[in-house]
Amino acid sequence: MIVRLDEGLDAVQVRPGMAAEVTFSIEGRSGSGGVLVPPRAVGQDQGGRFVYVLTRSDAGEIATAERRTVQTGELTPEGLEILDGVADGDYVATAGLRTLAAGQQVRLLEAR
């Protein structure tokens, strides 16, 4: 994934090739009724396109994966538009789609 820093840090603090942990929220686009997700969050098989939505437990850092069929829209520079199947505020798995299964418990990297 490529992230562009618009402001805040100068060139002394951030250099090309540095690794970073990036957190962002998925927000709906006004007027579209959909949400944007990283394209790698969407899998496809004979059943169609899908994502794994992660539902957090009361403890906060453990989540249960739920496979949801999604309808996709446009691919934009900001992400792939999901028109149906994901709502604003849902946590969507962005890695490990090939090994995830419905009902599997996973540990969130950073609970919020």
Q: Where are the domains of the chain?
A: 35-107
Amino acid 83: pLDDT: 94
Residues 57-69 have pLDDT tens digits of: 776 688 899 999 9
Q: How confident is the model at residue 111 (pLDDT cuts 50, 70, 90)?
A: very low
List Cβ neighbours of 14 (8 Å cut-off, separation of 6 or more): 5
Amino acid 50: pLDDT: 96
Q: How confident is the model at residue 33 (pLDDT cuts 50, 70, 90)?
A: low
Amino acid 8: pLDDT: 62
The Cα–Cα gap between 55 and 97 comes to: 16
The Cα–Cα gap between 56 and 63 comes to: 4
Least confident of 18-27, 32-41, 43-52, 89-98: 18-27
Angstrom CA distances, 30 to 13, 25, 36, 85, 111, stand at 34, 15, 11, 17, 27
Do residues 94 and 40 lie in contact, with contact meaning Cβ atoms separated by under 8 Å?
yes
Residues 42-91 have pLDDT tens digits of: 999 999 999 999 998 776 688 899 999 999 999 988 899 999 999 888 88
The CATH number of the domain covering residues in 35-107: 2.40.420.20
Do residues 82 and 34 lie in contact, with contact meaning Cβ atoms separated by under 8 Å?
yes
